[in-house]
Chain A
């Protein structure tokens, strides 16, 4: 209870500020609308209600966004092109595919790095350097390029997500696979364990906490990668496309709704990874 109360207070404060800000930001346009309609002396309460119900507001009020989310998910057929559930699914599938690629690549690289000194020395600096390249910023271009080779649909977006999500996994897994102490490795050597056994019975279990911590970061950024990658291909659909078309048409409510769906998706994905972590920990006998 004493954790929920402060969070709720802050959330309520944010919503209150949001309502106030939407009155303040929408007021100039509403005043002009009222002047054009020859409405003088609009009572303040009515004026506030008007600012919260504009068609293309500068800042839509929270209930407008909530209403749009409701209309675009529950009230529509999920197969409709205007349904956010449809677009969310496109983004989600690209995210998951990219995340799966990225995690596998990350784990493989980490295994290569800990078992081979030369690959540690040659790969690690470049893996770190690869993340200072703002690749997500050129993602739309890469998607266009890959489309030209015949790679269309999910795969190009998933590749961008992969590029972003492999990094935390490599770094975390290298740390994790190296986390067993010398004394533990020595013990396995006294058992005459093969490197294969040492890997599966000691290093891999020891790396689990690191893997899940990295996967939580990785899945969040794979979602970002998928959304940005969608900005180039308006025909393909996805939350990124909803952002772009909303921006072109000035449909602010649509942008905010897509943004909140993306946020919800991120929260659910991170929670799912957290849940998986909990289950694996239970299986491995870790006391939480």
Chain B
């Protein structure tokens, strides 16, 4: 079986097994202190047998999970983690990598189906990151002001859902959504209007391209002065940030339909309106959705940053800036988690709609987007 391992896999296996062996030796003096850890070290050391015996990669996966479990179970309530436990972190990380490496090789060789297992790999990577974060912050007793452990963030999240929900409503529902809708619709309509006049198009396109590269977020203080502290000013910032990417992408997209397709429409005696609705807008779909996706992130950023320049006493940006001031960093991270979930969900919804609407496009038909 050892012949089926690549060089990288072999090194990883040696690191994992070696750390297991070293850890086993180091935990012998304090035997019985952390039984789970001892078991993990013993099995890791046994995994060196893979050099002579067959060793399924699922066993590597199980070992990685066992290592993570042992690490978290034996984390000290306070103070530093025993030195040799760091070996377990390294071993466990090496097992996870090895597992992913061999799983990917198996998928590529066609031994495993793509669907399902393809999702496992990124999931393992994410979980590994969280475990390492947890172990490092608690094991090395990193100050919670600097970086709280994920478990502390999760507890805070669960304890203050009321505040988080109020902030979410203020920032996301009241500022982001209206601003996003107004900005995108305005960008789309202006693009369609501009598209009719080559002169306007030649004039607006360079300026639009230029504007979408600018730090438009800087207008946030001006908008707060003009529209007041409440959500209107945040929505205005979002409108300004989302308008130009939409304009530029839609104008580019309206040119995506080829001449031969337009000629076909004109042989049908299709009016401008019919050509637009039945050919050019659908053909612009991928471009418009590209802008919608870019804007989904920009909108959230715009609303949160605008809140730094003045808000009523609610909102994600407000909570973040005051949380930093009061050193309530776990609340800040809980707020970041909300922003991350909201941002990813927003993006995901748009990507799903895109798959439904532009089902004909090669990038969607090809499977992975």
Contact = CB atoms under 8 A, between A and B. Distances in A.
A133 B343 CA distance: 6
B347 interface: yes
Interface string A241-258: 001101100101001101
A274 to B, nearest CB: 11
B122 A137 contact: no
A258 to B, nearest CB: 7
B221 A132 contact: no
Contacts of A133: 336, 339-340, 343-344
B156 to A, nearest CB: 15
Nearest to B103: A118
Interface residues of A, number: 58
Interface stretch (A32-40, A77-85, A142-150, A206-214): A142-150
Contact of B321 (A141, A246, A256, A263): A141
A144 B201 CA distance: 45
A8 B297 CA distance: 32
Interface in B29-68: none
B309 interface: yes
A270 B202 contact: no
24 contacts: A3-B206, A11-B207, A123-B125, A124-B122, A132-B346, A134-B304, A134-B339, A134-B343, A136-B217, A137-B316, A138-B320, A138-B332, A138-B335, A140-B321, A145-B146, A148-B143, A148-B146, A243-B221, A244-B221, A247-B221, A247-B224, A247-B309, A263-B214, A266-B213
Contact of A262 (B206, B218, B321): B218
A224 B297 CA distance: 14
B146 A132 contact: no
A162 B321 CA distance: 22
A268 to B, nearest CB: 11
Contact of B339 (A137, A231, A247, A263): A137
B307 to A, nearest CB: 9
Interface of B: 8, 97, 100-101, 103-105, 107-108, 118, 121-122, 124-126, 143, 145-147, 199-204, 206-207, 210, 213-215, 217-222, 224-226, 296-297, 300-301, 304-305, 308-310, 316-317, 320-321, 323-324, 329, 332, 335-336, 339-340, 343-344, 346-347
B118 A121 contact: yes
A259 B83 CA distance: 52
A247 B222 CA distance: 7
B345 to A, nearest CB: 9
Contacts of B105: 117-118
B305 to A, nearest CB: 6
Interface in A2-27: 2-3, 6-11, 14
A228 B305 contact: yes
B308 A140 contact: yes
A259 B145 contact: no
Contacts of B200: 6, 10
A92 interface: no
A269 to B, nearest CB: 9
B224 A132 contact: no
Q: What 7 A-B pairs come out closest when comparing CB atoms? A: A6-B203, A247-B221, A137-B304, A10-B203, A122-B125, A6-B202, A125-B122
Contacts of A71: none
A227 B202 contact: no
